[in-house]
Amino acid sequence: MLVATPDPKLKIVKEEELLVIRDAHSLDERMIPFEWSAIMQWDPCVYEHAMHGKMPTNRILLGVVNGRIVSCLVVHVFENQTGFFGPLIVLNPNDRGKGYGHGLMQYMLHAYRGYVLGCNGAVEKVKYYQQYGMQAHHTVQRWRGTFPSSCAHLAARHQPQYHVMQDNDRALSVMIQMDYEATGVRRCQFWKSWLAQKERITLVMNSGEQDNEQRPAAVGCLTPVGQTGVYRLAPVFAVDRASAIALGLELMQRVMDVDPMSESSTADLKFDIACESENPDAEEICRDLFQWGAGIQGVKLWKGGKPIAQHPNRMYGVAGLECN
């Protein structure tokens, strides 16, 4: 626990307004950032956020004033002194401008000094994060639409060169390796927790005509967004454009075949994905092939230098609150 010194520039002078920073203790407290995100309407996938709240690989910091929680910050810590943080929220408008978010940022940066730290920031908040030494690198664009039936023939089930498995052990090893190649960050425990969530559909796809020639071509997950009839593709890794399309369509087709999470007709189902500008193919697939509409755009920022990735173009769909 830490008591943050009031910032004289912000005129915090009353003792009862001192910011106490501590870790979330209970599951209810760990859910605060995701409940507040829903109130702020920052991200439609509250269900995905809820699963993050249960993950042992993240740390949730709370700012408390006079016994009242006023701010929160989520920090994911990965191997090799790499981390990713967000969201940072001060929910009550009356609590903003008093340094309650600033105090959490200062504490987090001090606690993880020497780490390479990343975050997804709103376009209008880039200058805020830059004051902490973070640098903007590229954009992240969300896309949403219905099942692209005109492309259904490109799904893996119709492509004899692809072989799809619903095998979490195999998916985990492939995801760890492809993630490392695409991001430069190795996150074994994170993905183990991610794939442990039973609500997700996880597929790994091999390519090759014979068993002894098969090699990993793509891996990805599809997550229901509560009971909204929306499903999120996150993440999707693939060695090339054709493999990404085949796996993405196969994941969506699994839901179109049987939709246990929604009472709506399959025609009403929506799918969404977030793509990085580092991989132009990903955005082209969503915009031109699937003909989905663009949604929220964010900016990827890093402090301490962006991790060096061998194949950034293998990231086709990123997950919401991690080092994507």
On whether both 278 and 183 belong to a single domain, the answer is: yes
* Burial label, 231 (beta-carbon count in 10 A; 0-12, 13-18, 19+): buried
The rounded distance, in Å, linking the Cα atoms of 285 and 287 is 6
Give the type of residue at 229: G
As for how many domains the chain has, the answer is 2
On whether both 90 and 173 belong to a single domain, the answer is: no
The rounded distance, in Å, linking the Cα atoms of 205 and 271 is 20
- DSSP-derived secondary structure for 87-101: EEE--SGGGTTSSHH
Instruction: Read off the tokens for 297.
Output: 């755009």
Residue 30 located in a structural domain? yes
For residue 235, the enclosing domain spans 141-259+266-301+313-317
Return mean pLDDT, the chain: 86
Q: Enumerate residues 6+ apart whose C-beta is below 8 A from 227.
A: 261, 262
Average pLDDT over residues 293-298: 91
Q: HSE, CB side, 13 Å, CA atoms: give it for residue 307.
A: 28
Identify the DSSP state of 168: H
pLDDT value, residue 266: 65
Residue 88 located in a structural domain? yes
Q: What is the pTM of this model?
A: 0.87
On whether both 29 and 153 belong to a single domain, the answer is: no
* pLDDT surpasses 60 at 6: no
pLDDT value, residue 196: 86
pLDDT value, residue 3: 47
- DSSP-derived secondary structure for 88-138: EE--SGGGTTSSHHHHHHHHHHHHTTTSEEEEEEEGGGHHHHHTTT-EEEE
Summarize pLDDT for 87-145 with one digit per residue, the tens: 899 999 999 999 999 999 999 999 999 999 999 888 999 999 999 999 999 999 999 99
* pLDDT surpasses 60 at 262: no
Q: Enumerate residues 6+ apart whose C-beta is below 8 A from 252.
A: 147, 155, 222, 231, 233, 271
On whether both 86 and 146 belong to a single domain, the answer is: no
Q: Are strands 270-276 and 82-89 parallel, antiparallel or unpaired?
A: unpaired
Residue 119 located in a structural domain? no
Q: What is the CATH number of the domain that holds 19?
A: 3.40.630.30
Residue 169 located in a structural domain? yes
List, in sequence order, every residue forming a beta bridge with 120; answer none if it has no partner.
300
Q: What pLDDT band is residue 86 in, cutting at 50, 70 and 90?
A: confident
Residue 84 located in a structural domain? yes
